Amino acid sequence: MAVAVMACRDRGPVPAPQGYLFEKGPYQGFYDRGGKLMRLLYDQNGDKKADVVLLFYPNGKPRQVEADTDFDGNIDRWQYYSEAGVAEKEGYSRAGNAKPDTWQYFDVKGSITRREIDENGDGKVDRVENFQNGRVAAVGIDSDGDGKIERWQTWVGGRMVSEEIDSDGDGISDRRLRYGANGQFAGMDVLTTRAVKATAAAPGR
């Protein structure tokens, strides 16, 4: 069973861990001298390549998981856990590349709290989604790729109810778009730093 290993050039040689290697069917486990499982490889499709790599804490809880979900030889999903074995964050590649373009973060109960998305593959976050009770509550969008959020959306009950926009690039929202229960545009507010300056109603309303 093959698995890719990246050399550590900056820190010099790393001593090989001492332990025992066991293989049974599609599984290959590495145990330390005390008999604790340190690493587990799983060949899901029988091609003699590791499709899932699991690393463990000394207490036996999972520490990190890497997976090749489409069997192309490249890792496209990454999961990280606390020492208590609770998932903290998960990354995956929607494009199937060897680097994540989406990260999800979880609370101690395993519920998602935030999702960060790189829409164009440049390595920068373009969209941030915040969750409450498992549903999107707020979204921030960098639509021009300058590294700054200029659109802020508010979501209620699984739908967007308003969006504030920074149209002049000063970091302060100056327009608020409102949407009705059916998702249609309901109106626009022109904002100042203190209060709503004027209101423009949607046509026919």
pLDDT confidence bin for 14, thresholds 50/70/90 = low
Q: What is the pLDDT of residues 106-165, one digit of tens each?
A: 999 999 999 999 998 888 999 999 999 999 999 999 988 888 899 999 999 999 999 999
Q: At residue 15, does pLDDT exceed 80?
A: no
| β-sheet bridge partners, residue 130 | 114, 138
Given a contact cutoff of 8 angstroms between Cβ atoms, the answer to whether 140 and 125 are in contact is no
Topology of domain 61-201, CATH:
Outer Surface Protein A; domain 3 (3.90.930)
| Distance, CA of 136 to chain centre | 14
Q: What is the spatial distance between Cα 84 and Cα 99, in angstroms, rounded to a whole number? A: 26
96: left (phi over 0), alpha (psi -120 to 50) or beta: left
To the nearest whole number, what is the mean pLDDT of the chain?
A: 85
Q: What is the spatial distance between Cα 156 and Cα 135, in angstroms, rounded to a whole number? A: 9
Given a contact cutoff of 8 angstroms between Cβ atoms, the answer to whether 56 and 44 are in contact is no
* Strand extents, DSSP E, the chain: 19-24, 27-32, 37-42, 52-56, 62-67, 77-81, 87-92, 102-106, 112-117, 127-132, 135-141, 151-156, 159-165, 175-179, 185-191, 196-201
Identify the weakest region by mean pLDDT among 32-46, 144-158, 186-200.
186-200
Q: At residue 75, does pLDDT exceed 60?
A: yes
The pTM of the full predicted model, rounded to 2 decimals, is 0.75
| β-sheet bridge partners, residue 132 | 135
